[in-house]
Amino acid sequence: MKKIVWCEPTGMANEIFDGAVVVLSGSGGGLMEADFITEAIERRFLETGHPQNLTLVHALGIGDGVASGISRFAHKGMVSRVIGGHWTWSKRMQKLAHENEIAAYTFPAGVIQTLLREIGAGRHGLVTHVGLDTFADPRQGGGRCNARATEELVEIVHLGGRELLWYKPFKVDFALIRGTACDPQGNLTAREEPADMEAFAAAMAAHNSGGRVFAQVRDALETPIVPAREVLIPGVLVDCVCLNPDQHQTTASKYDLTISGQIAAPNVRTQQPQPEGTRYLIARRATKELEPGKCINFGFGIPDGIPAIAAAEGLEISWTAIEQGAHNGDLLSGHLFGAARYPSAIVKSTEQFDFFSGGGIDIAFLGMGELDAEGNVNASWLGMDIVGPGGFVDITQCAKKVVFCGTFDAKGLKVEHKNGQIQILRYGDIPKLVPKVRHITFSGKRARADGQKVIYITERAVFELMSDGLQLIDVPDGIDLHRDILERIPFPVTVSPEIERRFTQK
């Protein structure tokens, strides 16, 4: 019978060799983050200059947004290539990409996670529709984000008369994962964690590539994990484990069993705080797009305020699902987005992305950076730095209905809401409706071909994607149709007959 090998994190760090491919499993806010290990790797590099020239792979943003997670590797010379799904959790890594110090790639988070599963299964990479006509498509850059990223990591293929993307496999040398506890056989459980994430897929990819799996846990168990169904990672996949008794469940606290699904929801729930200001105006209008009996996804930012408004107004939300794996519950926001209080189910995020890819989401509410005449949305590369899509592409491309939420313009926008009227006191300095988006995170062309219903909500205007472009379908009271909307859009839009009649009558 196999017995677990216990290691100190410094010993694990010493095993990471120059040029290795390292996979980080986890999500932002400390969810399933093996920071005890990554901190030791960073410390070794700062002291010795090794390991260097690593390839770092991560599907979602990882860390506290400042020093941990992805930022542990954000030192000149430490990494030479990053394949990341969400970059904003490390300003330092974004800077390295901007300055061409690394080869920078970004892919949809679900693509990265399920590619790891395919690598672990020994299959020839991932073949999928996810990413077609977006930045991940070779015709739109193939995920490359700077001049140093020259290798083609994705190709177009045709199977059964259908156009698809082939994301190429690679060898994984190390997977860094974590759990709550480890038993004498090396089995890991995540029973007190908010999510399972892609830990199993990452471990399998490394193990079956001939690489190594390093795990971090809070507890060392003296007896086998029971029931056996609570084992997330079987010991056969684990090479060595380090113990961190001070391990935190998230960056907010040590362990809260209400977000690990171990405490049932009370009959009377605490009212969640509602968004304020412009965020409230947009989120409240978005609640009109809710439909009973549907499976809903809420994204990070403005959309994560919709459930609180819906609850306050007695609106039904039948079922929710987020990419980290939680179903239902009270969604947490900010740095803890990805966890839910009192979830009714938690599945592996790789399986959640399979559910999304097959069209399991009925309505998705997501944020919006830029919007153009074709109905394309950019949420993955704004300003100077790579943002990355996270689960945005996987969700929006496959949901039956998509509702984008964002301000009409940015930087300096001031809006007043008084007596049921909305007035724009100051326009933003940065237009968000542009002739052509910089990065296609959502493809209007693909949406029309697939028959998706697409709505775009701002504080002063609501648009719908039609066969010939955008149509203005709603304007709140107090807004001037021409001065506040039409004269500030750098491309033609149609106006619905209802809006035409309303403003003609005025």
- Catalytic: which of 323, 370, 374, 459? 323
What does the chain come to in residues? 506
Distance CA 177, CA 173 (A): 13
The contacts of residue 72 (CB under 8 Å, 6+ apart) are: 35, 38, 39, 41, 42, 63
Per-residue pLDDT of 337-395, as tens digits, reads 899 999 999 999 999 999 999 999 999 999 999 999 999 999 999 988 899 999 999 99
Residue 484, token pair as written in the block? 């506040």
Looking at residue 287, its pLDDT comes to: 97
pLDDT digit string (tens) for 303-312?
Answer: 988 999 999 9
**Segments in the chain below pLDDT 50:** none
Q: Is 262 helix (H, G, I), strand (E, B) or coil?
A: coil
Q: Using one digit for the tens of pLDDT, what is the confidence trace for 153-211? A: 999 999 999 999 999 999 999 999 999 999 999 999 999 999 999 999 999 999 999 99
- Cα–Cα distance for residue pair 506/501, rounded to 1 Å: 9
- Provide the 3-class DSSP secondary structure of residue 404: strand
Q: What is the pLDDT of residue 505?
A: 75
User: How confident is the model at residue 269, as a pLDDT?
Assistant: 67
0.75 surpassed by pTM: yes
User: For position 88, what pLDDT does the model report?
Assistant: 93
The yes-or-no answer on residue 193 being catalytic is no
Question: What residues pair up with 341 in beta bridges, in sequence order?
Answer: 330
**Mutual angle of helices 109-120 and 199-208, in 10-degree steps:** 40
Task: For residues 235 and 240, give the distance between their C-alpha atoms in angstroms, rounded to a whole number.
Answer: 9
Q: What is the DSSP string of 119-177?
A: HHTT-SSEEESTTTTSTTSGGGTTTB-STT--S--EEEEEETTEEEEEEPP----EEEE
Q: How far is CA 204 from CA 117, 160, 207, 231, 460, in A?
A: 7, 30, 5, 15, 49
**What pLDDT, on the 0 to 100 scale, is given for residue 504?**
86
Q: How far is CA 197 from the centre of its chain?
A: 12
- Separation of alpha carbons 210 and 215, rounded Å: 16
First to last CA, the chain: 82
| Structure tokens given for 190 | 């995540």
The 3-class SS string of 317-374 reads CCEEECCCCEECCEECCHHHECEEECCCEECCHHHHHHHHHCCCCCEEEEECCEECCC
The span from the CA of 330 to the CA of 271, in Å, is 10
